[in-house]
A and B are shown apart, each in its own frame.
Chain A
Amino acid sequence: MSDFFLTAEAEPDEAVKLALRRIDEAQAAGQGSDVEGLRLNEVVVNMGPQHPSTHGVLRLVVTLDGELIKDVIPVVGYLHRCKEKLAEKRTYFQYIPILDRTEYVAGMNCEWAYVMTVEKLTGIRPTRRAEFIRVIVGELSRIASHLVAVGTFTADLAPLGTAMAFYTFRDRELILDLLEEVSGGRMMYNYLRFGGVRYDLPSGWVEQCRDVMKRMPKLIDEYASLVDDNAIFLQRTVGKGVISQQDVVDYGITGPNARASGVELDLRRTRPYSVYPELDFEVCTAQHGDVFDRYRVRMDEMRQSVRIIEQCLDMLPRGPVQSGSLRAPYVVTPPPGSCYVGQENPRGEYGTYIVSDGSRYPYRLKYRDPCFCNLQLFPKLLRGNKIADAVSISGSMDLVLGGIDR
């Protein structure tokens, strides 16, 4: 008996201790076991940080009553790398590569958010060609990121999804190849500069990109045909993990997760930046806010991204990709002050807040990471669901722990 049950006092782990204490409180309040004479019918289970289906090192301390989830305590910090503190010891320019490593699935977009913030602080204006290139690589990065999201989410549901994950990762290579040609890196790009981008597009790249964009909608349709009409997939996803619009507002949910609940919140439209006002695209929304809708919104967004990229390739102007002199981006000393710029990352609003004291180093840098805010909803979202749903719901939220833990 004592081998199995640890009391709250004897438990060394703080999160588990909290979970056990909550069980005790619930029992004291008369909401304990429904079986006569049984002291405890709830078990506290660790999902993560080492668990096959937590993406990264998310740890959920789950209180289970049989298959039912009674309580969830997310524990973060296993991937903490002092990203914010590092900014204070580096010049503005030296900090760009670190951005790739915060939310590593869509590094390009993170760089973009930071670069835009510094540009706003200093008043540097990027060239027009650079703006278009930024939109192209940003949207490519968004497609790659959504491919990972959809693939891993379906992989959580089943072996079928494993096949789908392989297909999505296979086709993500097409995009990573494009980004590699342009920047030299597959995940850690270090490509954007204050006032422009590092390199111009290599010759033949535009045609290559057009080619990939021509293939992409067919590939997306292929994924959709694998699962969209599958009865078991629908059973597992329809009506599960519903996020209401009130929750979206209360918890600051952004990105596809918010749009799946019918909130038309897309910073590319609502707080436009770069050349997005000139581009024609739809903000994809759904109505029900369940797991299936979140999956569908991501699929639709990939199609929209393809549209955006094709337009940009058509409109791409000639000219320099770096404003000012070639040395300009390396030494940046913004005037004292502070600034926040949010950017539509594939997972939601990713913004950086920078306080400058007029020196070459940021005085303080703070992120607004979409995953961190989306994670706050987990306890509310998972409570009352089956343990199998916990996996599909957390998969549909698409968390990246690099951004949460920083």
Chain B
Amino acid sequence: MDVFLEILRLVVCVIVAYAVVFVAALVNIVFERRFLAFMQDRHGPNRVGPHGIFQSIADAFKMIGKEDFRPAFADRGMFILAPIMVMIGAVAVQLTMPYTKGFTPGDLNVGLIYIVAVTSFTTMAILVGGWASRNKYSLVGALRSAAQMISYEIPMLLAILVIAMVVGSWSLNDVVDAQADYKWIGFYMPFTFLLYAIAAISELNRGPFDLPESESELVSGYGTEYSGMRFGMFFLNEYACMTIMSMVAVTLFFGGWHGPFEDALVIGGVAIVPFIWFMVKTYILVFALVWVRLSLPRLQVDQLMGFAWKILIPLGLLNIALTAAVILWVPHWRWGLLVVGWVSFAAFVGLFDPILKRRLRRQRERLPVVSS
């Protein structure tokens, strides 16, 4: 009977997780479109519902109503499978997320590793979809995506490893518990958060790392041959993942559901206020993601790879070594981490951009003057 109940609970959780993923994606799409429009001095979608909030629902209905088109050369099975697969990563991550005090759909004792593992489902789906389309743009887009994901998963894992070292556990609930009383990891390890954030943006395929679907060169990358709701699935996933990645970041770095008035409102053993804190923090990060995308030009594929392998991974390893040293040898190691974290954060932010610009400027000065 217990087993049956547990299975029932998990099934319900999966259904709820799917619902959350879809709703989050729809919200994000409208939010991003409106915000981009605001920044670009235009109106954006403002017709469907008040301030256009139902625009993406209207779009979803439109896409469901479209012809189910499949190119003649496409690999039938894989072509259909890819859009189904693409959502798995987002949903699977949801299932281990500690939403609020006393509610985690499925608490895994290896939650941190699990997150890194299942997020690569998206890459796999993109690769499958790009290959099955039998289109050159799709293929190049898919291969770019694979290369990018493999490169950026490493710095992401290195950042997560540091958290596991500090917390002493792989469980997400333990990570959140360790951050009670505003001892948020993001506060005393900002550098680790920076590494994680850069890698996560890249995992999301969002600007400035949106190479797999860089429309100015590859039309729309792996999604070129997809139309209707199959395209819609890829599209929804991209936006759902924004929320998912932000949720993970909040859990790991910004205290998860912790916040003031945690026990103010409890319904059926589930605290409501912490859930609100969790979502507020998540959407602050989503906002940051949109802003970053808007503000930076797109990198080029070789520059992207160089950034991961030459800069992020060495820095990630260095970060691990420093953190380990502090934990081992400094008596009040949390204070030690605070100092090390902020110093390295300031150094990276303060030095990286000027150094890069100086190099570029010098490169520009050294350019040969063209002459006959």
Interface residues of A (CB under 8 A from B): 3-4, 43, 45, 51-53, 64, 67, 154-163, 166-167, 170, 227, 229-236, 238-239, 242-246, 249, 261-262, 287-290, 292, 386-391
Contacts of A232 in B (CB 8 A): 208, 296-299, 303
Would you give the shortest CB distance from A379 to chain B, in whole angstroms? 18
A242-B295 Cα distance, complex, nearest whole Å: 27
A53-B368 Cα distance, complex, nearest whole Å: 29
Would you give the shortest CB distance from A46 to chain B, in whole angstroms? 9
| B164 within 8 Å of A (CB atoms) | no
| B146 within 8 Å of A (CB atoms) | no
Would you give the shortest CB distance from B354 to chain A, in whole angstroms? 9
Would you give the shortest CB distance from B355 to chain A, in whole angstroms? 10
| B33 within 8 Å of A (CB atoms) | no
Find out whether the CB atom of A262 lies under 8 angstroms from the CB atom of B39: no
What 14 new A-B contacts, CB under 8 Å, besides A158-B216, A227-B297, A287-B369?
A3-B134, A53-B217, A67-B140, A158-B207, A160-B207, A160-B294, A160-B296, A163-B39, A231-B357, A232-B297, A232-B299, A242-B370, A245-B371, A249-B372
Find out whether the CB atom of B297 lies under 8 angstroms from the CB atom of A157: yes
Q: Could you jot down 20 A-B contacts, CB within 8 Å?
A: A3-B73, A45-B137, A51-B219, A67-B301, A157-B297, A158-B298, A159-B207, A159-B294, A159-B296, A160-B295, A161-B297, A163-B36, A231-B356, A234-B357, A243-B370, A262-B370, A262-B371, A288-B364, A292-B364, A386-B302
Within 8 Å by CB of A391, from B217, B303, B353, B369, lies: B217
Within 8 A of A (CB), among B171-214: 207-208, 210, 214
Contacts of B137 in A (CB 8 A): 45
Closest 6 pairs (CB-CB, A-B):
A158-B297, A53-B216, A158-B298, A166-B40, A289-B370, A234-B360
Known contacts A163-B39, A232-B208, A232-B296; decide if A387 and B370 are in contact (CB<8 Å).
no
Contacts of B372 in A (CB 8 A): 244-246, 249
> Which residue of chain B is the closest to A156 with respect to CB atoms?
B216
Within 8 Å by CB of A239, from B42, B214, B367, lies: B367
Find out whether the CB atom of B296 lies under 8 angstroms from the CB atom of A230: yes
A230-B360 Cα distance, complex, nearest whole Å: 10
> Which residue of chain A is the closest to B211 with respect to CB atoms?
A388
Find out whether the CB atom of B297 lies under 8 angstroms from the CB atom of A233: yes
A3-B134 Cα distance, complex, nearest whole Å: 8
Within 8 Å by CB of A163, from B208, B294, B363, lies: B294
Find out whether the CB atom of A245 lies under 8 angstroms from the CB atom of B370: yes
Find out whether the CB atom of B40 lies under 8 angstroms from the CB atom of A163: yes
Chain A CB count within 10 A is highest, among B208, B294, B300, for B300
A388-B140 Cα distance, complex, nearest whole Å: 12
Within 8 Å by CB of A43, from B73, B136, B208, lies: B136
Known contacts A3-B73, A45-B136, A159-B293; decide if A388 and B370 are in contact (CB<8 Å).
no
Would you give the shortest CB distance from B179 to chain A, in whole angstroms? 33
| B67 within 8 Å of A (CB atoms) | no
> Which residue of chain A is the closest to B300 with respect to CB atoms?
A388
Within 8 A of A (CB), among B45-95: 73
> Which residue of chain A is the closest to B371 with respect to CB atoms?
A245
A167-B42 Cα distance, complex, nearest whole Å: 10
Find out whether the CB atom of A261 lies under 8 angstroms from the CB atom of B370: yes
Would you give the shortest CB distance from B86 to chain A, in whole angstroms? 22
Find out whether the CB atom of B357 lies under 8 angstroms from the CB atom of A229: yes
Contacts of A386 in B (CB 8 A): 300-302
Would you give the shortest CB distance from B29 to chain A, in whole angstroms? 15
Find out whether the CB atom of A238 lies under 8 angstroms from the CB atom of B217: no
Find out whether the CB atom of A231 lies under 8 angstroms from the CB atom of B294: no
Find out whether the CB atom of B370 lies under 8 angstroms from the CB atom of A287: yes
Number of residues of chain B lying within 8 A (CB) of chain A:
44
| B215 within 8 Å of A (CB atoms) | yes
Would you give the shortest CB distance from B235 to chain A, in whole angstroms? 16
| B2 within 8 Å of A (CB atoms) | no
Contacts of A157 in B (CB 8 A): 216, 297-298
Contacts of B293 in A (CB 8 A): 159
Contacts of A170 in B (CB 8 A): 41
Contacts of B357 in A (CB 8 A): 229, 231, 234
Chain B CB count within 10 A is highest, among A230, A233, A235, A292, for A235
A227-B297 Cα distance, complex, nearest whole Å: 9
A227-B357 Cα distance, complex, nearest whole Å: 13
Would you give the shortest CB distance from B314 to chain A, in whole angstroms? 19
Contacts of B42 in A (CB 8 A): 166
Within 8 Å by CB of A160, from B136, B219, B297, B300, lies: B297
A286-B364 Cα distance, complex, nearest whole Å: 12
A156-B300 Cα distance, complex, nearest whole Å: 12
Find out whether the CB atom of A389 lies under 8 angstroms from the CB atom of B300: yes
Q: Indicate with 1 or 0, residue by residue over B276-312, a CB within 8 angstroms of chain A CB atoms.
A: 0000000000000000011111111111000000000
Known contacts A244-B372, A288-B364, A288-B370; decide if A390 and B217 are in contact (CB<8 Å).
yes
> Which residue of chain A is the closest to B297 with respect to CB atoms?
A158
A170-B370 Cα distance, complex, nearest whole Å: 35
Would you give the shortest CB distance from B319 to chain A, in whole angstroms? 22
Find out whether the CB atom of B41 lies under 8 angstroms from the CB atom of A391: no
A233-B296 Cα distance, complex, nearest whole Å: 8
Find out whether the CB atom of B300 lies under 8 angstroms from the CB atom of A235: yes
Contacts of B218 in A (CB 8 A): 387
> Which residue of chain B is the closest to A235 with respect to CB atoms?
B303
Find out whether the CB atom of A388 lies under 8 angstroms from the CB atom of B356: no
Would you give the shortest CB distance from B202 to chain A, in whole angstroms? 14
> Which residue of chain B is the closest to A52 with respect to CB atoms?
B215
> Which residue of chain A is the closest to B216 with respect to CB atoms?
A53
Q: Indicate with 1 or 0, residue by residue over B327-363, a CB within 8 angstroms of chain A CB atoms.
A: 0000000000000000000000000010011001101
Contacts of A229 in B (CB 8 A): 357
Chain B CB count within 10 A is highest, among A155, A159, A233, A244, for A159
Would you give the shortest CB distance from A263 to chain B, in whole angstroms? 9
Contacts of B140 in A (CB 8 A): 64, 67, 387
Q: Indicate with 1 or 0, residue by residue over B13-44, a CB within 8 angstroms of chain A CB atoms.
A: 00000000000000000000000100111100
A249-B367 Cα distance, complex, nearest whole Å: 21
A234-B358 Cα distance, complex, nearest whole Å: 11
A387-B301 Cα distance, complex, nearest whole Å: 10
A166-B137 Cα distance, complex, nearest whole Å: 27
> Which residue of chain B is the closest to A387 with respect to CB atoms?
B217
Known contacts A234-B364, A242-B370; decide if A388 and B301 are in contact (CB<8 Å).
yes
Would you give the shortest CB distance from B321 to chain A, in whole angstroms? 27
